[in-house]
Amino acid sequence: MFRESSWFVRDRPAARRRIQWNCLVNRCSWIYVGAVLAVLFILRLAADRWWVVTVFMFGPRWPYALPLSILIPLALFVGRRSLWPLAISLAVVIGPLMGLCLPWRPLIAPKSPGPRTRVLTCNVHYNQLDAAALSMLITQTEPDIVALQGWIGKHKPVVFWEENWHLRRDGELCLGTRYPIRKVNLATDAVFKVGRGAFARYDLEAPNGTIHFFNLHLASPHEGLNAVIGQQAAAPTLLQANSDLRRSQAEIIGSWTKKLEGRFLLAGDFNTPPDSTIYADFWSPFHNAFAEAGFGWGNTYFSRRAAVRIDHQLAGPGWHCRTCWVGPNVGSPHRPVIADWAWLDPND
330 within some domain: yes
Same domain, 36 and 177: no
The DSSP code sequence of 285-342 is TSEEHHHHH--B----EE-SS-EE--EEEEE-TTEEEEEEEE----SSSBPPEEEEEE
348 within some domain: no
296 within some domain: yes
1 within some domain: no
35 within some domain: yes
pTM for the full predicted model: 0.90
The residue among 97, 113, 139 that closes a domain is 97
Q: Are 228 and 55 in contact (CB under 8 A)?
A: yes
Q: Are 216 and 255 in contact (CB under 8 A)?
A: no
Report the distance separating Cα 293 and Cα 320, nearest Å. 9
Same domain, 119 and 169: yes
Dump pLDDT digits (tens) for 192-224. Answer: 987 789 999 999 999 989 999 999 999 999 999
Same domain, 84 and 116: no
Q: pLDDT tens digits for the chain (348 residues)?
A: 445 555 444 567 766 777 777 888 889 999 999 999 999 999 999 999 999 999 999 999 999 999 999 999 988 888 778 899 999 999 999 999 999 999 977 777 666 666 899 999 999 999 999 999 999 999 999 999 999 999 999 999 999 998 899 999 999 999 999 999 999 999 989 999 877 899 999 999 999 899 999 999 999 999 999 999 877 788 999 999 999 999 999 999 999 999 998 999 999 999 999 999 999 999 999 999 999 999 999 999 998 878 999 999 999 998 989 999 999 999 999 999 999 999 876 444
The residue among 54, 78, 97 that closes a domain is 97
The residue among 73, 97, 121 that closes a domain is 97
Same domain, 299 and 275: yes
Same domain, 113 and 89: no
244 within some domain: yes
Number of domains in the chain: 2
* CATH number (domain holding residue 213): 3.60.10.10
Same domain, 127 and 216: yes
Same domain, 39 and 125: no
Dump pLDDT digits (tens) for 111-147. Answer: 666 689 999 999 999 999 999 999 999 999 999 999 9
Same domain, 90 and 113: no
Same domain, 24 and 47: yes
Same domain, 311 and 187: yes
Show the domain range for 58.
Answer: 6-97
